[in-house]
Amino acid sequence: MTLGLRKIILLMLIGSVFLMANIVLVANWLSEKGLPDFANHIRSNYLTGTAITVVVALLILLVNPGKAGTARCFIRRCPVCDRRLLGNPKYCSECGSNCNS
């Protein structure tokens, strides 16, 4: 974690604290702008159960392409002898090959 990232997180934390302190004011302002009616319109027309299910299924099926073959359900196998590796070893105990390549 870099220093810039820490500063951004701290600023977001301070902003969220100020927002939480004035939550009634923010809710009244959003209600004046008509946001709850718009959100109800969106929810009733576009967010059906089927759409939510499809989006969740796609998010589950979406995997990082670089890790698709190696890290399947936290069970890793040696790329040389196909022995199952427990934990996160650097070398295979069966054939001694480097597993982190």
Q: Mapping DSSP to helix (H, G, I), strand (E, B) and coil, where does residue 73 land?
A: coil
Which one of residues 13, 80, 89, 91 is an interface residue with Zn ion (CB under 5 A)? 80
Task: Count interface residues toward Zn ion (CB under 5 A).
Answer: 8
Phi-psi category of residue 63: left, alpha or beta, with phi > 0 → left and psi -120 to 50 → alpha? beta
Name the residue nearer to Zn ion (CB basis): 15 or 89: 89
Closest separation in Å from C-beta 40 to Zn ion:
58
| By the rule CB under 5 A, 94 interacts with Zn ion | yes
Name the residue nearer to Zn ion (CB basis): 31 or 93: 93
Strands (E) located in 1-101: 76-77, 84-85
Helix, strand, coil abundance in the chain, percent, nearest 5: 55, 10, 35
| By the rule CB under 5 A, 19 interacts with Zn ion | no
| Residues making contact with Zn ion (CB under 5 A) | 78, 80-81, 83, 92, 94-95, 97
